[in-house]
Amino acid sequence: METVASEMEWQSLSQKALQGECLTIEEGLAVLEADNDEILLLMQAAFKVRKHYYGKKVKLNMIINAKSGLCPEDCGYCSQSIISTAPVKKYTLLDKDTLLSGAREAMARKAGTYCIVAAGKGPTDKELDQVVDAVREIRHTMPLKICACLGILKDDQAKRLAEAGVHRYNHNLNTSRANYPSITTTHTYDQRLETVEKVKTYGMSPCSGVIIGMGETNQEIVEMAYALRELDADSIPINFLNAIPGTPLEHAGRTPSMKALKVLALFRFICPSKEIRVAGGREVNLRTLQPLSLFAANSLFVGDYLTTAGQDVTADHQIIEDLGFEIELNAL
């Protein structure tokens, strides 16, 4: 009888999500604090919502680290920050040919979206010129969607990126408003919100997500999901901290695999129609349970991340095939 009651409880959350109702704080906490024995029932309920909006299709995204290790910001999770002592490569913005080569690699990996990422508070005019030039050529020569992640934008910069053909702009909230000052001090939570609202104004699809495992409480995780629902982000990357030696968060423990699955289910319930992407740190935190993540999420990053390695893309393709899912080509 207890199992039946639990199944009904999780199914009631999927019904709420499908009806456009938002979970309460108490319901969100119940998801995150569910007994591990109920994980399959919980993921089944999340899959009901995921299947309604996305069927069995999986969107693939690939990142290119277009500028590395020269960031003046002090983000505690990042190996490229000014306060990090991690031994990362340092280089200025990649040239056009290298960015084009990355786009071709994204296509070879069956990624529909190519993400051009450059560490920094925001792009210089010269850097923006280089990105715009590359984006225009990619748009004319390849059937790829393009996402840019270049930091805080000025109005004219957002306008130029949109006019060049950037489909999506990423600027993660990363953590809760309350936890933000303990993670970053060189810019504010509100500046991030403002940038996401700005890209919406210029017609780019807003992409914004979180990093789980930076000292936030369960209630703050629920609040992060609420914030992204209110922001109406189209794409929500869920990163799980991969603690890098040389960063302030180097001693943070990994998120348990079961907890990671519960987080993904929570975001599916609270942001039911949005692209939920299993992002950075999935290999380290989900480990052998990675396939289960796609019962809540409908999107993956393939290949390497910014300064950390991902798994071989053939393993990701195999996971999708073995689940009976299919890659959604050229999907935003």
User: How far is the C-alpha of 25 from the C-alpha of 205, rounded, in Å?
Assistant: 28
User: Is 75 marked within a binding site?
Assistant: yes
Tell me whether residue 324 is exposed, middle or buried, using C-beta atoms within 10 angstroms of its C-beta: 0 to 12, 13 to 18, 19 or more.
exposed
Residue 168 labelled as part of a binding site: no
Long-range pairs, 124-130, Cβ under 8 A, ≥24: 127/67, 127/93, 128/157, 128/160, 128/161, 130/93, 130/95, 130/96, 130/99
CA-based nearest residue to 35, from 65, 68, 7, 75: 7
115 is in an annotated binding site: yes
* Spatial contact of 281 and 316, defined as CB atoms under 8 Å apart: no
Q: Is residue 277 annotated as involved in ligand binding?
A: yes
271 is in an annotated binding site: no
Q: Is 149 annotated as a binding residue?
A: no
Could you tell me if 13 and 27 are in contact, meaning their C-beta atoms sit under 8 angstroms apart?
yes
What CA–CA distance (Å, rounded) separates 139 from 134? 9
Secondary structure class of 62 (helix, strand, coil): strand
Distances from the Cα of 228 to the Cα of 23, 60, 175, 296, angstroms: 14, 21, 11, 17
Under 8 Å between Cβ of 173 and 193: yes
For residues 326 and 319, what is the distance between their CA atoms, to the nearest angstrom? Answer: 10
292: closest CA among 47, 110, 35?
47
Q: Report the binding-site residues for [2Fe-2S] cluster.
A: 115, 147, 207, 277
Q: Report the binding-site residues.
A: 71, 75, 78, 115, 147, 207, 277
Q: Report the binding-site residues for [4Fe-4S] cluster.
A: 71, 75, 78
